[in-house]
Structure 1
Amino acid sequence: MTASSLPPSATGLGRQGWILVLTLASAQLVSWGSLFYSFSLFVVPMEQDLGWSRASINGALSIGLLVSGLTALPVGIAIDRGRARLVMTVGSLLGAAVLAIWAVTDSIFVFYAIWALMGVALASTLYEPAFAVLAGRLGARYRAGITAMTLIGGLASTAFIPLTQLMIELWGWREALVGLALWNLLFCAAIHLFVLRDPNRKSARQQDVPETRQAAKPAGGKALMRQLMALPRFWAMLIAFVLYSALIAALLFHLVPLMIGRGLPMPVIIGAMSVIGPMQVAGRIVLMSLGRRMSSAVAGRIVFSLMVLAMAVLWLLPTTAAVAIGFCALYGTANGVMTIVRATIVPELLTSEAYATVNGAMYMPATVAKAIAPFAAALLWEWSGGYDVVLMVLVVLAALSALSFWLAGTPAQAAE
């Protein structure tokens, strides 16, 4: 099934739809902010306190992201089978437990072990499972729901980077981790446990979800994937997202050390990074205002190109406060729209069947690339003695990912 056979988008989510979207969005804000964006803020304090190298600290992150990628497909299958409540609640509880253990460990081996578990938490709580829940429960209205959810979720870095840094400065990095653990335990787990409980879920899905999506069953996943893997646009899209994921992961988890190394004070760095969230939201508002006048394929081509520009700015210009803010604005705009593109491009260009399973299969290699990239960037930094070579490699990744997405085709081509 291609874009030509998808039902028209519905704009009204209804009261229950809005409750689902807004509560999931609030949990996404906390999950992204505490489990993902906060990591880079702990690198320097842990280096100073524990004497661990930057590469070894980022190695644990790589293990977590690798496990997240390997877990993406089973998580998608479980959600397609109606187990979203169990998956996302356990994920939040596991994330809280990992943060609490991280706060008391002095062992690099324990640190690596708990980040392997964190990978399961990431796969179970972040955007992909939430997107799948909205796609399954909102049916034809899923794009409106996803866009609305990401408007709130996009503020995660804006809210939690300054909040986490403040907790580190006031309490210390270990106590800050305990605070983040409580957010996941008392807020995210509660939302997933109570909001995702819907005794009428099965009948609601049968009424809302298009007939072809009702017919999609996990048992047919292998045949469906064989059909998709025969399409050149599938591989072009896959390569684009693999390279983009590697770029974003390497950049995100090295941006604070990079700016510190280039002489920017921490208040300026925090201020610049706080621009990312609002610009993500601004990009999504623009995309939402355009509605059906701009397809996900066209939006993707624009933002992939915008990311090339952002990386070139960071690489070629001296890292002043103005350049840092400008880069974060470009990055935030592109990455904000990219989140929606990533969530909607598969139904538009490939298939609307078995949404969570196909997404999990497609983004598994992208998440593996995301896992390797921060560690590889740290090794490259150590080898080259600075971030200039790292940035040059990231510019190349941005250009290749943009080229691959441009080659993936348009909705009209996909329907032929």
Structure 2
Amino acid sequence: MTGPTVAARLARRLDARGVHYGWVVAAVSFLTLITAAGFRSTVGVLIVPLQDEFGWSRATISAAVAINLVLYGLGGPFAAGLYDRFGVRKVIVIALAVIATSSSLTTQMDSPWQLDLLWGVCNGLATGAIGVTLAAVIANRWFVERRGLVTGMLTASNATGQLVFLPLLGWIVTAEGWRTAATTVSVVALAFTLPLVVLFLRDSPAQIGLRPFGAVVDDPPIPQQNPFRAAIDGLRLASGTSTFWLLTASFFVCGATTNGLIGTHLIPAAMDHGMSEVTAASLLAVIGVFDLVGTLCSGWLTDRFDPRWLLFWYYGLRGLSLLALPFVIGSSNLGLIAFVVFYGLDWVATVPPTVAITARAFGRERVGVVFGWIFGAHQLGGAVAAWGAGAARTWFGDYQSAFVTSGLLALVAAGLVIRIAVPRHADTPSAATPAEAPA
């Protein structure tokens, strides 16, 4: 039985029971994003082992993390173009093969440039094809109803996978060494994630004779255009609007205060205060659990409330929690637990309302490319924070200045998002143009 036959037969059986195949696609995408996030975040548990084995500074290792984050983010808009041109499934299969290969080769490295190439460039580009842009594309191609909820679910899987994988990888590093952790990434990519994608993931509902969940008319065919041109055209369209720049600036701060700072440096910061690597990684796992709850709730709220005010509260509360972190990380276990729970609920709750605003302002058929550029700013902010926090630790001996700076930036972002102008009836492809929201 071939892959397409498996998907088509399953779709017919589910349809007979009143279940849309889009939920299968969402489930496979959920698992794919979980594992891909774990693949990308592995370097977080390698910082201290690489420092111990090779004598590299944290600033040197953080440079590879910064490269990874930048390319992961910049890959978003071009990945959306590749989805349109070659198909979602084919692009993800190739990306998983690159992840597996680069992870295996990492075990043989002995100099920083190899870390930059394998974990920075190769892993960054490949995981960029399986990032939050995929969540936006799947939610908007396969769902009309429950789109905010699905966006929240897929977004949560991306961040939760990153955080839940870390304790396991931290235990592997402690028990077997960092090379075994890198090999584990390669095996999971090839033996678990890739078969699921090949068998069950499809590029669009039309490919198996369906409409998106909740749709009353067929979607127009996906344009087969040059991926590079599609990405540039999307940027040209969006960059003439104030909405795009306000979303871009706020998402830069989002990346700086999540992936770049906490995702990369919470483990070494906790170890600076006497925690073991496994215990420190477990803090991120707890953040990941509460992130899943918070982002699902954010998706539900996005279907019902003004997404601008949701973003205002998310960024404001995140800023306050980061300002409190330096006072609890080394002195109060109860305070640190409270930070982990509170911050986890807010980790990527910003994504569903940001995707919703993007779809309303620029149309569903452009949401992948435009949100890809916005997410690129997210990862650029993460890269700046990843390198900057590592440099601050090298120069000043602690992370206090990095935590305080990120908290203040989050408060600034809360002020920016309230200025966004969102068109009212903008779920249709022709809902918004740059003229409706002049820069």
- How high is the TM-score relative to the length of structure 2? 0.82
Answer whether contact 1:268 1:321 (CA < 8 A) is retained.
no
Letter in 2 for 1:174: R
Task: Name the CA shift for 1:103/1:236 in 2 (closer, same or farther; >3 Å).
Answer: same
Further displaced range: 282-291 or 241-250: 282-291
Per the TM alignment, residue 216 of structure 1 is displaced from its structure 2 partner at its CA by 7.7
Q: Cα distance 1:149–1:404, how it changes in 2: closer, same or farther (>3 A)?
A: same
Deviation for aligned residue 1:256: 1.0
Unaligned runs of 5+ in 1: 1-11
Distance in structure 1 (CA, Å) of the matches to 2:210 and 2:86: 10
Q: Secondary structure at the match of 2:325?
A: helix
The correspondence of residues 249-260 of structure 1 with structure 2, limited to 5 A, is 249-260=260-271
The structure-2 alpha-carbon separation of the partners of 1:113 and 1:216, relative to structure 1 and needing over 3 Å to count, comes to same
Deviation sequence 1:361-382 (CA, Å, 0-9, x none):
3322332332232112212222
Structure 2 partner of 1:164: 169
Structure 1 residues 287 and 397: alpha-carbon distance in aligned structure 2, compared to 1, 3 A threshold? closer
d(CA) in 2 for partners of 1:212, 1:223: 25
> Matched residues in 1 for 2:293 and 2:204: separation?
36
Q: Percent identity?
A: 20
Task: Kindly report which structure 2 residues correspond to 1:274-289, keeping only aligned pairs within 5 A, or say none.
Answer: 274-289=285-300
1:194 and 1:201, CA in 2 relative to 1: closer, same or farther beyond 3 A? farther
CA contact (8 A) 1:279 1:336 kept: no
Change (3 A) 1:413 1:17: closer
Write the distance in 2 (CA, Å) between the matches of 1:55 and 1:48.
Answer: 14
Q: What residue in structure 2 maps to residue 322 of structure 1? A: 334
Q: Indicate the residue corresponding to 1:79 in structure 2.
A: 83
Aligned to 2:115: 111
Residue 29 of structure 1 corresponds to 34
Aligned equivalents of 2:353, 2:91: Cα separation in 1: 24
Equivalent position amino acid for 1:164 in 2: L
Q: Is the 8 A contact 2:321 2:339 kept in 1?
A: yes
Give the alignment of 1:169-318 within 5 angstroms.
Answer: 169-197=174-202, 201-202=206-207, 204=209, 214=220, 217=223, 225-248=235-258, 249-290=260-301, 292-317=303-328
- Map 1:11-90 to 2 at 5 A: 14-36=19-41, 38-81=42-85, 83-90=87-94
Cα distance between partner residues in 2 of 1:199 and 1:292: 22
Alpha-carbon distance between aligned partners in 2 of 1:168 and 1:198, rounded to the nearest angstrom? 37
Are 2:141 and 2:204, in contact at CA under 8 Å, matched by a contact in 1?
A: no
The structure showing larger relative contact order (alpha-carbon pairs under 8 Å, at least 6 residues apart) is: 1
Q: C-alpha deviations, 1:236-269, integer Å up to 9, x for none?
A: 1111111221222123211111111133344542
Partners in 1 of 2:409 and 2:249 — Cα distance? 11
The residue identity in structure 2 corresponding to 1:67 is L
Report if the CA contact (8 A) 1:221-1:354 is conserved: no
* Residue number in structure 1 paired with 2:364: 352
Distance 1:367 1:207, change over 3 A: closer
Deviations 1:328-363 (Å, cap 9, x if unpaired)?
212211114223234333113443332212122332
Query: What is the root-mean-square deviation of aligned Cα atoms in Å?
Result: 3.0
Q: 1:261 to 1:153 in 2, by over 3 A?
A: same
Aligned CA distance change for structure 1 residues 82 and 354 (closer, same or farther; 3 Å): farther
CA contact (8 A) 1:164 1:176 kept: yes
- Determine whether 1:404 maps to 2:411: no
| Count of aligned pairs between the two proteins | 404
Residue-by-residue CA offset, 1:254-312 (whole Å, 9 max, x unaligned): 11111111333445423432221221122134335546332332322221112112111
Counterpart CA distance in 2 for 1:199 and 1:77 is 14
Query: 1:97-176 counterparts in 2 under 5 A?
Result: 97-114=101-118, 115-150=120-155, 152-153=157-158, 155-157=160-162, 159-176=164-181
Q: 2:33, 2:130 within 8 Å by CA — same for their partners in 1?
A: yes
**Aligned: 1:367 with 2:373:** no
Preserved contact between residue 205 and residue 212 of structure 2 (Cα < 8 Å): no
Hey, what does 2:9 align to over in structure 1? none
Is 2:315–2:410's contact at 8 Å kept on the other side of the alignment?
A: yes
1 CA distance for matches of 2:300 and 2:318?
Answer: 21
Question: Take 2:205 and 2:283, find their aligned partners in 1: how far apart are those partners?
Answer: 45
Whether the aligned pair in 2 keeps the contact of 1:100 and 1:181 (CA below 8 Å) is yes
SS in 2 for 1:363: helix
Offset of 1:88 from its aligned partner? 1.0
Residues 252 and 381, structure 2, Cα contact 8 Å, conserved in 1? yes
Aligned to 1:407, the other structure's residue is in SS state coil
Shift of 1:394: 1.4
After alignment, is 223-232 or 187-196 more displaced? 223-232
- Seen in structure 2, the aligned counterparts of structure 1 residues 309 and 409 have a Cα distance that, compared at 3 Å, is farther
Q: Quick one: distance in 1 between partners of 2:108 and 2:202?
A: 34
2:106 partner amino acid: W
In structure 2, C-alpha distance between the alignment counterparts of 1:322 and 1:73, rounded to whole Å: 41
Contact 1:75 / 1:123 at 8 angstroms: preserved in 2?
A: yes
Alignment match of 1:380 (pick from 392, 412, 416) = 392
Structure 2 CA distance for partners of 1:210 and 1:154, relative to 1, 3 Å: farther
Question: Which residue does 1:389 correspond to in 2?
Answer: 401
Q: Deviations over 1:376-415 (max 9, x none)?
A: 2212222223212222221222222222222224565998
4+ residue segments displaced more than 6 Å: 205-213, 413-416
Partner of 1:9: none
Q: Which moved more, 1:197-206 or 1:58-67?
A: 197-206
Of 344-353 and 272-281, more deviation after overlay is shown by: 344-353
Q: Which amino acid aligns with 1:176?
A: A
* CA offsets 1:111-137 (integer angstroms, 9 cap, x no match): 211121111112111221233133223
